[in-house]
């Protein structure tokens, strides 16, 4: 991957560092085989539901 400029090169370097340091946390193949959810949609939906319940109740 070649960068367009020095800022892009720095962002690529940071991304490579992040992925290298977090390989065990981004092993999506393992998670899919284990039946684990990959996205955050379920958590976001639950958070939205819970926050609405708290904000809409009386008192």
Digit-coded pLDDT (tens) for 18-57 = 999 999 888 889 989 999 888 888 888 888 888 887 777 7
The predicted structure's pLDDT at residue 1? 63
Domain of residue 20 covers 6-56
The answer to whether the beta carbons of residues 45 and 37 sit under 8 Å apart is no
Q: What is the pTM of this model?
A: 0.50
**How many domains is the chain partitioned into structurally?**
1
Q: Does some domain include residue 50?
A: yes
CA dihedral 9, 11, 12, 18 (to 10 degrees): 150
Tokens 């379920």 sit at which residue?
A: 42
* pLDDT band for position 59 (cuts 50, 70, 90): low
Report the pLDDT value the prediction gives residue 3, as an integer from 0 to 100: 75
Domain assignment present for residue 49? The answer is: yes
- Give me the pLDDT at residue 34, please: 94
């Amino acid at each position: 991957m070649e960068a367009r400029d020095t800022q892009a090169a720095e962002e690529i370097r940071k991304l490579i560092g992040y992925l290298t340091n977090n390989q065990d946390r981004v092993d999506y193949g393992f998670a899919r085989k284990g039946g684990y959810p990959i996205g955050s949609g379920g958590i976001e939906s639950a958070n939205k539901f819970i926050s609405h319940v708290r904000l809409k109740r009386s008192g």
